[in-house]
Amino acid sequence: MNEAADLKRTSNRVERLILGCGRINGASEFKQSAKLIETALKLGIRSFDTAPSYGEGESEDVLGAVLSGIEGVAITTKIGIPRPAARRASLLKSIYRHIGRPILAKVPALKAQALRLAATRDAGPYESPPKRQLLSSLVLMELEQSLRRLRRAFIDKYLIHEPTQFCLDQNTSDIFHELISQGMVGACGLAYGDCPETIPSFGSVIQVRYDEYSPSLSHAQKELIFHGVLRHGLRHRTLPSSDGGAGHHISRVLESRPGSKIIFSVSSVRQIKEIMADLS
């Protein structure tokens, strides 16, 4: 009886997980990226989050190629940060992905320091640029390009990437509601890199950076999706050795935020297997 209950609880948690595809790359890294996606599928993951700018512009292409013809999967993509005009992979970036990132993963203190430096590198007063209007022609063009790359006729969730740069008015809502009514999009919403203090009424979905000390945002009455649970979830951005592993931490967040979902990213098959094994 207890074993059946544990299996059901674990299954419910898996259903609330979304594989973040920001680290999905093409070209020479296509096979490795494909293995990550295929492993996620085998372990029960059925939701994937991407964007035109992810993977230096190739995440959507790779995801579409690997998931082509596979039913029962849900894909979220975005508009707002454009796909790079050309692949900008450099020798330094390749070295970081293959050497630097694995080293940082093995030295949590060093990784935490690097993240703090990255977060404060551009800190300082600045003047926000004027907000832009999302024109219907641009939204339709970007959506059609994403559909082509993803090899789909329908996007489950279509979100505005970093929405503070845009003017979200009734016209914006009308554009996205029309896409929903036409059957091109299942739901629309907002995808923030941070955790905003106020939530616009736009859409029915919101992605925000997880902060264990922030309010639950349940008052927003939207489908709530957290990212950065492992990177930003703890005050010092590191998991203590006694914490039980990344999967256990994800489980605790899911338990503390009923109804929410979590986006998590990995760089290797080993990492995703370890997380899913600890998801209890």
Structural domains for the chain: 11-82+93-277 (3.20.20.100)
Residue 12, pLDDT above cutoff 80: yes
pLDDT at position 100, please? 57
pLDDT at position 237, please? 46
Q: What is the mean pLDDT of residues 93-105?
A: 59
In three-state secondary structure terms, 262 is strand
Residue type, 181: S
State the angle between helix axes of 136-150 and 170-181 in degrees (0 to 180), rounded to the nearest 10: 40
pLDDT at position 235, please? 46
Phi-psi map region of 162: left, alpha, beta (phi>0 left; psi -120 to 50 alpha): left
pLDDT at position 197, please? 83
pLDDT at position 11, please? 85
Better-predicted residue by pLDDT, 120 or 39 = 39
Better-predicted residue by pLDDT, 137 or 219 = 137
pLDDT tens for 23-57 read: 999 999 999 999 999 999 999 999 999 999 999 99
Residue type, 17: L
pLDDT at position 1, please? 47
Residue type, 31: K
Residue 105, pLDDT above cutoff 80: no
What are the CA-CA distances from residue 5 to residues 9, 42, 72, 174, 223 (Å)? Answer: 6, 22, 24, 44, 26
pLDDT at position 117, please? 59
pLDDT at position 231, please? 80
How far apart are alpha carbons 174 and 171 in whole angstroms?
Answer: 5
pLDDT tens for 63-97 read: 999 999 999 999 999 999 998 876 554 445 555 55
pLDDT tens for 213-268 read: 766 676 678 999 999 998 865 544 444 444 668 999 999 999 999 999 999 999 99
Q: Buried b / exposed e across 77-111, counting CB within 10 Å, b at 16+? A: bbbbbebeeeeebeeeeeeebeeeeeebeeeeeeb
In three-state secondary structure terms, 260 is coil
Instruction: Give the strand pairing for 261-264 and 17-20.
Output: parallel
How far apart are alpha carbons 240 and 15 in whole angstroms?
Answer: 26
Residues 6+ apart with CB under 8 A from 16: 254, 260, 261, 262
State the angle between helix axes of 246-256 and 269-277 in degrees (0 to 180), rounded to the nearest 10: 50
pLDDT tens for 152-209 read: 999 999 999 999 999 999 999 999 999 999 999 999 999 999 988 888 899 999 999 9
Q: What is the pTM of this model?
A: 0.83
How far apart are alpha carbons 3 and 19 in whole angstroms?
Answer: 26
How far apart are alpha carbons 158 and 189 in whole angstroms?
Answer: 7
How far apart are alpha carbons 198 and 194 in whole angstroms?
Answer: 12
Residue type, 177: H
